[in-house]
Amino acid sequence: MRRRATRLAGGVTLVTALAVALSGCVASERDPEGSGEGGGKDTFVFAASADPGSLDPAFASDGESFRVARQIFEGLVGVEPGTADPAPLLAESWDISEDGLEYTFHLKEGVKFHDDTDFDAEAVCFNFDRWANWTGLAASESLSYYYTHVFGGQGENGKYDSCAASDAATAVVKLKSPLPELVPALSLPSFSMQSPAVLEEFNADEVGGAEDAPELSEYATAHPVGTGPYTFDEWKTGESVTLKAFDGYWGEILDVKNIVFTVIADGTARRQALEAGDIDGYDLVAPADVDALAESGYQILNREPFNILYLGMNQKQKPLDDIRVRQAIAHAIDKEALAAAALPEGTEVATQFVPSIVSGFSEDVAQYEFDQDKAKSLLAEAGQENLELEFNYPTDVSRPYMPDAAAIYEAISADLEEVGITVTATPEPWSPTYLDTIQGSENHGLHLLGWTGDYNDTYNFIGTFFGAESSEWGFNDPDLFKSLSDARYADVDQQEAQYKAANEAVMEFLPGVPLASPVPSLAFTEQVQDYPVSPVQDEVYSVITFSE
């Protein structure tokens, strides 16, 4: 997925803001006594790796924005705790018509937005109509990525038709054509319910600047209002975001009454902040740090792997358009050794471009076992015994699927050298250039990238990668694209079989090598209890308790 710079109304570029990692800045956000009701700790300090891109989740597509948004906002659909499966949230239930064109949502009653206005069916329809009717920069992929990709576009170009309030507690959403993944997709923070009154008051949809550096409204930088357990308090760009418990919340808020997301870009600095007692926890623990932290008494919690790390092969760069060369590369890589050397304990070696827990995972995909003699034979057959390839990989980044890109590159390049493939390393900073190189140009050969699933749907993985022609992969295969589209819109009782067939077709074609589904790790002090680990990072802090 592309990630673009987003600017504050005042013109500060968020993704390039300087991350403040000094422990003194972290400590200044904390109550030194940590005192809440009855003298207990009530503030949870979590180290984020970057600023949020936007406080308006409808204009966000990055993990740090979503981490904050899940505390402030709620959607019609949530996620079953500990899984990637959809569950009721602001909608207590829903009915779907037989033709898949009408969704009737039965809403939770008595819910208030943070501005004390009512959450009801009229508010639901306001939000759906808002998403569908963006124009100009607001409708660009760089901002409304998820609406565009789920609903197919704004206005007449999209699948959304209308929304009507049957009564205060019933909203009926109509589509122009079926969208089988609508319910799980609505669990994304991008589809959170927001206060119509505040959206209008602060002109939330007035976006300035340019597509590659849009300037968001005052709403998206200082006035987000949802129905969630926490309200927005303060955003110090490059330093921290602070939230406070919402007294009128419809649910229960346990020990965490204040949240501070402090920005610490460097993984080593995050670990040091935990060891210094300046933070309570952080995400994306480096595999090399896990054992040492555990031995020192810190809690290590692992998310179930819901991601894919892969080696991409751009077929615009010859001879990667030759299936024999792609097969040789696949056979050359020792995935088991790669996982042991460069990925967290518990990592699943991948056989296809979806994790094993996703519906549509097939046991019958083509297997490319580690066999370097076979790799050499295939290269010889293709007339490529002294092959030289460029190998792109990112620097200055840790992702759930790629905790240490340089270590992964070293392991794979060594395997390729063994079969006679000489690689030229092309490291490039993740921000702002790596994704533009890989997904926005054809000037790359082999490359490392991956994906963390948004919700439990097969198309969210293989459709994201191979649903249409793209610069990342450099091929055009209408039959493959059609098979994925057919599976996406198939009847529910036929969909799993069609997705399995699509996965098998992808692995026969072999546009890249799926490597692994790593286990992302989080670290916490012993005092943090009941952290709601989620494979899709649907982690709301109202359920956390603190031990004495």
- CA dist., res. 51 & res. 220, Å (int): 13
H or E stretch covering 405: helix 405-418
Per-residue pLDDT, 124: 98
Q: What is the largest CA-CA distance in the chain?
A: 76
Structure-block tokens of residue 157: 């170009």
Q: What is the mean pLDDT of each run of 10 residues along the chain (548 residues)?
A: 34 35 37 45 94 93 92 97 93 96 98 98 98 90 86 88 97 94 95 98 92 86 97 95 98 98 92 97 91 96 94 96 98 97 92 91 95 97 93 88 93 97 93 84 93 90 91 93 89 86 95 96 96 95 95
Q: Which sign does the torsion angle of CA 249, 255, 260, 261 carry?
A: negative
Instruction: Tell the residue number behind the tokens 């993740």, with chain if given.
Output: 430
Q: Is the peptide bond before 57 cis (omega within 30 degrees of 0)?
A: no
Q: What residue type is assigned to position 170 of the chain?
A: T
Task: Report how far Cα 307 is from the mean position of its chain's Cα atoms.
Answer: 9
Beta partners for residue 214, in sequence order: 209
Structure-block tokens of residue 150: 């789920």
* DSSP secondary structure string for all residues of 471-482: TTT----HHHHH
Note whether 412 and 372 are within 8 A (CB): no
Q: 240 by DSSP, 3-state: which?
A: strand
Note whether 163 and 133 are within 8 A (CB): no
Strands 299-302 and 281-282: unpaired
Per-residue pLDDT, 16: 35
Measured in residues, the chain has a length of 548
- CA dist., res. 412 & res. 436, Å (int): 23
Per-residue pLDDT, 13: 36
H or E stretch covering 200: helix 196-201
Q: Is the peptide bond before 432 cis (omega within 30 degrees of 0)?
A: yes
Residues 180, 181, 183: CA angle, nearest 5 degrees = 105
Report pLDDT digits (tens) over 114-136: 999 999 999 999 999 999 999 88
pTM: 0.84
Per-residue pLDDT, 359: 84
Q: What residue type is assigned to position 482 of the chain?
A: K
Instruction: Tell the residue number behind the tokens 């209002």, with chain if given.
Output: 225
Structure-block tokens of residue 423: 């690689």
- The Cβ of residue 301 has, within 10 Å, a number of other Cβ atoms equal to 16
Note whether 139 and 152 are within 8 A (CB): no
- CA dist., res. 151 & res. 167, Å (int): 25
- CA dist., res. 53 & res. 418, Å (int): 43
- CA dist., res. 520 & res. 540, Å (int): 17
Strands 91-96 and 102-107: antiparallel
Per-residue pLDDT, 37: 43
Spell out the long-range contacts of 481-489 with Cβ–Cβ below 8 A and sequence spacing 24 or more: 484/459, 487/360, 487/458, 487/459, 488/180, 488/181, 488/459, 488/463, 489/177, 489/178, 489/179, 489/180
Residues contacting 28, CB < 8 A, separation 6+:
none
Per-residue pLDDT, 62: 85
Report pLDDT digits (tens) over 145-172: 899 889 988 888 899 999 999 999 999 9
Per-residue pLDDT, 36: 43
Note whether 313 and 358 are within 8 A (CB): no
Nearest to 4 by CA among 200, 154, 142, 126: 142
- The Cβ of residue 217 has, within 10 Å, a number of other Cβ atoms equal to 21
Q: 166 by DSSP, 3-state: which?
A: strand
- The Cβ of residue 239 has, within 10 Å, a number of other Cβ atoms equal to 24
Residue 399 DSSP symbol: B
- The Cβ of residue 443 has, within 10 Å, a number of other Cβ atoms equal to 14
Report pLDDT digits (tens) over 62-104: 889 999 999 999 999 999 999 889 999 999 999 999 999 999 9
Per-residue pLDDT, 140: 84
Integer angstrom CA distances of residue 82 from 190, 252, 281 = 20, 19, 19
Note whether 287 and 271 are within 8 A (CB): no
Task: Report how far Cα 324 is from the mean position of its chain's Cα atoms.
Answer: 33
Q: Provide the CB-side half-sphere exposure for 44 (13 A, CA).
A: 31
Residues 167, 170, 176: CA angle, nearest 5 degrees = 115
Integer angstrom CA distances of residue 499 from 118, 153, 450, 461 = 41, 24, 20, 11
Residue 38 DSSP symbol: G
